[in-house]
Each structure stands twice: as C-alpha cells, then as structure tokens.
Amino acid sequence: MSPASESWRLRAEIDHGALRHNAAAVRKAVGDRPGLIAVVKADGYGHGGPEVAQTLAPFTAQFGVATLGEARAVRAAVPEKDLLILSPCLPEEREAAVRGGFIPVVSSTAEAKAYARLAQGKPARIHLCIDTGMGRIGVWQDDALKTAQEIAVIEGLEVESVSTHLPVADSDPAFTVEELRAWETLIGQIRAILPTAKFHALNSAGSLQRPEYAADRVRPGLALYGISPLPGFQQLLRPAMTLRTRITLVRDVGPGRGISYGRDFITTQPMRIATLAMGYADGYPRQTSNQGAQVLIRGKRCPILGRVTMDQFMVDVTDLPRDVAAGEEVVLFGKQGDGEITVGEVAAWSGTITWDVLTRLGKRVVVEHLDFLNRR
C-alpha cells in the first residue's frame, strides 16, 4: 500500500541501506585498523536504537549509549556486542550495570572503587573518561596519570577502555589538533599503566577530518545517520531519515487574513493555504516560525506561514496545481521528486543543531524501517 493511501499522519522513514553506506564510509575514512564504536544513544539519534544496532552490528566492535535503560534495549537487539554507557550511571544503577555486563564510564577513583565493590566472580569492567577540554565528565587531564595509577591497583576491576571527547572538532581545528596531540602523549603514558585498555577520542568530525589520531577505536555518531558535522564531507554520506506528514485541509484565503497565533503573517493577496498534520509536539521546531522555513509538496518548496503550533502549521500552496488536496504527502526533511530539504536547513531555520532536530521527534510520529534485515 502506498503512503498516500495508508492511514497515517506523521512518518519517519529510516533507510537502513543508508546506515550501512555511512558505516562503510566512516570505515573507509579511518582505515582498517581502529574498531568502530557506533553511538546509538537517544534511541539511535531518533532512528530507533535497537534497529540501528542490528543493522550496524557487522561494522562495529561495540556500541555506545547514554543510559542503563538504553543499554538494556540495545543489548536485547545485539546480545553479542559490548555496550559502553557513555554518561555516568546513578549510584543506584551501578549494580545493575555490573550485573548486566555493561561497561560504565567513570570519572574518579572513588567511582571506580564503587564498581569494584560490586564485582562478583569476575572483574567489573569500566571505561575511564579523561577531560581534555569538554568540561562535562571525566578525570581532569592534569590528574589523569595519578588516577590511572590508583585505578590500576584496584582489585575486582578491569579498565576496558580510556577515552576523551572533542568539544570543538567541528568548529575549531586549531584547538582540536592541539588537544589530540596532547591526547596522543597521554595515551603513551597511560598505556604503560593500563596496558590492556583500548583508547578512543574521535567522534564523527574527528573520524572524518583527523583519522590519523584514531588510536584503537573511533566513536562516530551523527555521521552514521548520514549527516556530516563538517560540510566538506557531506558528499560521502547518505541521510538515513526522511520525515513526512500530510495535508489535512486546503483553503482559499483572501487578503487581510491573519494566519496562526499572534497574527504574525497577514495575507496581502488571495492565496491557497494548506494546513499540515504536524506541530511542535511532534518534534518540528516551533523556532522555524517566520524564519523562511519551507516544506516539500510534489517536490516543490512551499513556505511556512505564521507560527508553528502544537499540532498543526500552515504552508503556502498558491503556486501548486489546484488539485493539491487533503491527504497529500508533505516532506519536512528528505527528498521528494527532484526536491530536497536537509536536516541542516531545518536546524538553521530554527537556530539549533542537526542533532537536536533528529532527536526531538514526538510519540505520534510512526517510525518505518526500510531495507531492514531483522536479525532476531
């Protein structure tokens, strides 16, 4: 059944062929040696964490998630893969993380000792984070060697990996190169203390632009979903998500009519205006209101008029054929016919970042997986 004839209002289509293409592109960029840690946090950046994990499993050494709950969901889909929990577990979650065989992040000797006390029968595995500039979690860089030495002698503990995170890999190349050079020096020093640990720092931007600093593993996220944080590399990737809605109403509107809350847009001439079945409650940014944002109908760009409301917004279809009617498909981002609107454009119209646009989809959006080879 075609999308136009199905009973649906909001749909995110996930192209698993694109996911495989992007994983192969990252692999080509970094070479054969480093393992891939595919980041599937935030429900796979809105693409469906368990489904994405199944598709990317042949390409990856491990998966990265943000929370214990995400780790459990992805583990059910790919039980054979190790899972790094990249955000700190709450104290009451630590025992479940150890019992589940997950690899939680630690930022201090005290945290490491807490996990060691929970080990039963075999060492608790942890992932040591070092803060080289992010200012979010991790051991401060100046304290890294001392902390590594303290952790190395704790019984009941295995330091599976050591990492840092790059705060400006997509915006400040000079700082990033300086940070990575210091990181390389630190790797050499910590390897002498923790010889079995694996080291990783490169996110998507780092993997694409600075593969020479790959170390043992790389940790791409956004690039796997087909969006490059660096415009110069976008041609290597294929966006995996297309977001669609439908027209619910088309009206002829005379001059002098206010459109949407606040009456920010007043018609000055006769227009045909379509109302769409999507709003900010579904994840389309309200901040696109009155910013020149557009959607695709029949492959043509149609401007958004007035403010985006909770469940609906309006677009100008005056220049489209008169037979445009309720039920017709609309693309919010993705391709339609010869037209394309990128996630980056939606982010720019709303004054935010592509990560934010992808991960904000609401519960009313139906996710459909295309070219998905379910391995369960």
For residue 16, which of 328, 369, 256 has the smallest C-alpha distance?
A: 369
Inter-axis angle of helices 144-152 and 173-191, nearest 10:
30
For residue 111, which of 136, 128, 130 has the smallest C-alpha distance?
A: 128
Of residues 28, 122, 146, 261, which has the active-site annotation?
261
pLDDT digits (tens, 9 = 90+) for 202-216: 999 999 999 999 999
Distances (CA, A) of 297 to 211, 265, 276, 348: 40, 21, 11, 20
- 28 is known as an active-site residue: no
Can you tell me which residue has the tokens 């391995």? 375
Of residues 41, 45, 198, 225, which has the active-site annotation?
41
pLDDT of residue 195: 97
- 41 is known as an active-site residue: yes
Considering the domain 241-370, what is its CATH architecture?
A: Beta Barrel (2.40)
CATH code of the region 33-225: 3.20.20.10
pLDDT digits (tens, 9 = 90+) for 77-109: 999 999 999 999 999 999 999 999 999 999 999
Tally of residues, the chain: 376
Segment 188-196 mean pLDDT = 97
- Report the percent of the chain where pLDDT is more than 90: 97
Please name the amino acid found at residue 98: V
Please name the amino acid found at residue 258: G
Judge whether 180 and 201 are in contact, CB under 8 Å.
yes
pLDDT digits (tens, 9 = 90+) for 213-233: 999 999 999 999 999 999 999
pLDDT of residue 374: 62
Residue 5 has pLDDT above 90, yes or no: no
Q: Where are the domains of the chain?
A: 33-225, 241-370
